Amino acid sequence: MATRELHGVKIECVQGNIEGQPDMEAIVNAANAELRIGGGVAGAIHRAAGPGLEAECRPLAPIRPGEAVITGAHHLPNRYVIHCLGPVYGMDKPSDRLLASCYRNALQLSEDNGIGSIAFPAISTGVFGYPLEPAARVALGTIFEMLPMLSTVHHIRIVLFNSADIQVYEQVLNEFSGK
């Protein structure tokens, strides 16, 4: 686990499961355009939330790459789920700008809803094929850029599924925070 505190915001990278973060007010879904159950992060979140989540999502779909929408969390222990559609790497272009929009829009929705804590997965780095290190640079770079603008969000967590992934994020976090 790596933790930094900057502009009064705690930023941490942890290994774990996105649907097992009960202390976070919001969790982010690496969604599909239709906001349906799917695999990976979306599958884990929808299974844990129950069918009410898909029902709430239906009128909000479809969304475009880079966009984010917010719903309740149903049977999850959190208060909100923020659904982001990441870019399919090499197909939805420019992929870096679209991926940055996901993080920016999710943080903006958090501010608009008075959310204090938010956990992100590594959006687009699974089925959507975004290479991990460039994705980590976009994710953390966008989060760092937003820090001075945040007032309600005071805790940001990135949840990585496996130990190789967390090493990459820790290295990028160290670089960005000058350690």
Q: Distance (Å, rounded) from C-alpha 177 to C-alpha 171?
A: 10
Place of tokens 């942890």: 14
Shortest distance, CB of residue 110 to ligand AR6, whole angstroms? 19
**Residues 6-35: x/- map of binding to ligand AR6 (CB under 6 A)?**
-----------xxx----------x-x---
Q: Which of 47, 19, 6, 28 is nearest to 115 (CA)?
A: 28
Q: Within 43-82, which residues bind ligand AR6 (CB under 6 A)?
A: 44
Q: Which of 26, 86, 107, 166 binds ligand AR6 (CB under 6 A)?
A: 86
User: Which of 37-45, 55-63, 75-83, 90-98 is the region at the interface with ligand AR6 (rule: CB under 6 A)?
Assistant: 37-45
Shortest distance, CB of residue 158 to ligand AR6, whole angstroms? 10
Return the number of the residue (8 or 43) whose C-beta is nearest ligand AR6: 43
Beta bridge partners of 118: 26, 156
What's CA 1's distance to the chain center, in Å? 17
Contact call for residue 141 and ligand AR6 (CB under 6 A): no
Q: Which of 26, 30, 66 is nearest to 156 (CA)?
A: 26
What's CA 141's distance to the chain center, in Å? 14
Q: Distance (Å, rounded) from C-alpha 77 to C-alpha 24?
A: 9
Shortest distance, CB of residue 38 to ligand AR6, whole angstroms? 2
| Residues engaged in binding ligand AR6 (CB under 6 A) | 17-19, 30, 32, 38-42, 44, 86, 121-128, 159, 161, 165
